[in-house]
Structure 1
Amino acid sequence: MSTPTKEPTNWRGLARSATIYLLLMLVVLVAVDWWRSRAIPEGQLPQVPLYTLTGEAIDLHALSADKPLVVYFWASWCPVCPSVSPSIDWLDGTLPVVTVALRSGSDEQLSRYMQQKGYGFTTIHDSTGQLAQQWGVGITPAVAIVKNGEIVAFTAGFTAPPGILVRYYMASLLH
């Protein structure tokens, strides 16, 4: 009785297939980002007074003058945000981050929610959604990379730390 022989693994074919698959995924992701960012304003963001939950004045133009700034739009009611917010909180120790909470109850409710979740990031409460509307943000979660007061990268929906870091460092190099 003969033993069956195993076919040799075609590593080159697997590597080629994996490369094609990864490039195709990258093209799809870039196309989705482009589609979702169509409403994002071009040029300088409006200079409006912004205040954190603690009452601190925030100047996004000044914060993004020397290096890019991560601006994260989220909401306490958003079903995807609990998957992204911990990453943003973790990145806050490494990158400059400001978050915008959309229509998330009263300031007290939002503060309590953030405390329960353990979030320590700086947060502007956009209780009316006006700031999100000015920025063209129609979906949460959303991440904008701002450099010199201008949005230079944008993504919406689930985003993992590597995706945010790539966008951040590309903005650092290109803008």
Structure 2
Amino acid sequence: MKEKIKKYLKELITFFIFLTILANIISFYKSSDLNKDPLQNINITLLNSQEYKYPDEKPILIHFWATWCPTCKLEASNIQSISEKFEVLTIAVNSGTNSDLQKYMDEHKLNYKVYNDTNGFFAKEFKIAAYPTTFIYDKNKNLVFSEVGFTSTWGLWLRMWWAGL
């Protein structure tokens, strides 16, 4: 019995390692076409009606997501955690009206900064092909990381820490 458990545990660990490697390869492939230009200053109005401008001399995480995206729902708590410690701007793409989006945020107890990209303008500018997609820029607004798909809180935290060095 003990040997069977060891065997299954070894197979399970091998499977998760393989799955992690495959997910990273897919993410790398999907992120190859993303806009890698330095971040340009923009002024936008957030969902909460506040004006937003990228902060100076501070790294920033920009996260593209949608209310209809199942992976985005799984990752939302990770983005929420990171937004409590770092500068985060999220862009909800084709996710309905401002009231629809606010209802979604309230239902999921999320309070990070959200811009409602109703017509997909920013998604086109950043060349987003899949959701979620995350960009991390350093304090000089140069892209240091991009990720397509799910990312853990630790993964995001480490990347933001690195971008802030």
**TM-score scaled by length of structure 2:** 0.80
Structure 1, gaps ≥5 residues long: 1-5, 7-13
State percent identity of aligned pairs.
23
RMSD: 2.5
Higher mean Cα deviation, 145-154 or 157-166?
145-154
User: Which of 164, 169, 172 is 2:164 aligned to?
Assistant: 172
* 1:149 and 2:141 matched: yes
Q: 1:158 maps to what in 2?
A: 150
Paired with 1:164 and 1:67, the residues of 2 have a C-alpha distance of 16
User: Which of 91, 115, 120 is matched with 2:106 structurally?
Assistant: 115
Which structure has the larger Rg?
1
Residues 84-122 of structure 1: CA deviation (Å, up to 9, x unaligned): 001111221111111111111001111111111110101
Contact 2:135–2:146 (Cα < 8 Å) also in 1: yes
Q: What secondary structure sits across from 1:104 in the alignment?
A: coil
1:137 aligns with 2:137: no
Per-residue deviation at 1:33? 3.4
Q: Deviations over 1:133-159 (max 9, x none)?
A: 101121111211122233221101111
CA distance in 2, matches of 1:114, 1:169: 26
In the other structure, the counterpart of 2:6 is none
Is structure 2 residue 40 aligned with structure 1 residue 80? no
Could you say which residue in structure 2 is the equivalent of 1:48? 42
Deviation at 1:170, TM superposition (A): 2.3
